[in-house]
Amino acid sequence: MLKNITIGQYFPGNTVIHKLDPRIKIIITLLFIISLFIIDNFLPYLFVSIFIFTSIFISKVPFKFILKGLKPLFFIILITFIINVFMTKGEILFEIGPLDVTKEGLKLATFMALRLIFLIIGTSLLTLTTSPISLTDGIERLLNPFKRIGVPAHELAMMMTIALRFIPTLLEETDKIMKAQMARGADFESGNVLKRAKSLVPLLVPLFISAFRRADELALAMEARCYRGGENRTRMKQLILSRRDYIALGISILLLGLIIVDRLL
């Protein structure tokens, strides 16, 4: 399961999606998330599907790689679907024992499942097509106007990017620790949920120690290179908006506009 987590990974490429300004990609992702929470019927999901699958096709990220990122969250999506089906009151369609399946519950459960799936795919596409350095620069530039009210733009951008960057590293470390402990007789797969949770305790201790050690090594490396934050920092690649950035932003605004109009009508 750990190998199926794609959050924080970067898929190199030379496509139009990869070349988009990171600021524009972050804004498009935010507009996409907003549009998902505005939808209240099934028709706008057709627009969203066309938008997201076209983006995946243009980015040339393998669709199997996208689906692999959904596998670890399949259980959460399924639980969300089941809870909404049985806990929403309304017109009863049929009964399963003491539980009622309602028309409103089935509709809401489908909405929530689709929302979670598209949310995961959309945010994963951002990290898959944007390198950590570009993502840091994009977040920092977007937060720069808030410096006037004391927001540490560079520090926040750096922390978020380091967190994303080290997710694959920690997953790899977790996999190594699990294999080492399984070779010593540890069992992480048999038993009930409570027993499995208890078996993870010996895994968490060395994982936390490893994470703190990596953080300390990273801090020492940054100090050795005279890192002093974002003040007077120069960049080899300057962020400059091009025509394709404005076109991509316009398409995402059009998508949000269509969804808002559909909801109002």
- Fill in the DSSP letter of residue 4: G
- CA distances to 30, 61, 73 from 194, rounded to whole Å, are 37, 38, 19
Q: How confident is the model at residue 6, as a pLDDT?
A: 61
The amino acid at 158 = M
Q: How confident is the model at residue 235, as a pLDDT?
A: 67
- CA distances to 49, 76, 83, 107, 132 from 89, rounded to whole Å, are 29, 22, 12, 12, 45
**What is the pLDDT averaged over residues 47-64?**
89
Q: How far is CA 231 from the centre of its chain?
A: 29
pLDDT at 27 over 90: yes
Q: How confident is the model at residue 133 (pLDDT cuts 50, 70, 90)?
A: confident
Taking only the tens place, the pLDDT of each residue in 150-188 is 777 777 877 777 777 777 777 778 778 778 777 777 776
Q: How confident is the model at residue 105, as a pLDDT?
A: 82
CA dihedral 238, 243, 244, 249 (to 10 degrees): 90
Calculate the average pLDDT of the chain.
81
Rounded Cα–Cα distance for residues 151 and 157 (Å): 11
Rounded Cα–Cα distance for residues 132 and 139 (Å): 11
Burial class (CB within 10 angstroms; exposed 0-12, middle 13-18, buried 19+) of 194: exposed
**What is the pLDDT averaged over residues 244-252?**
92
pLDDT at 3 over 60: no
Give 98's contacts (C-beta < 8 A, 6+ positions apart).
none
End-to-end Cα distance, the chain: 43
Taking only the tens place, the pLDDT of each residue in 118-127 is 988 888 888 8
Provide the token pair at 78.
Answer: 């399924």
* Cβ(46)–Cβ(262) below 8 Å: no
Q: How confident is the model at residue 8, as a pLDDT?
A: 62
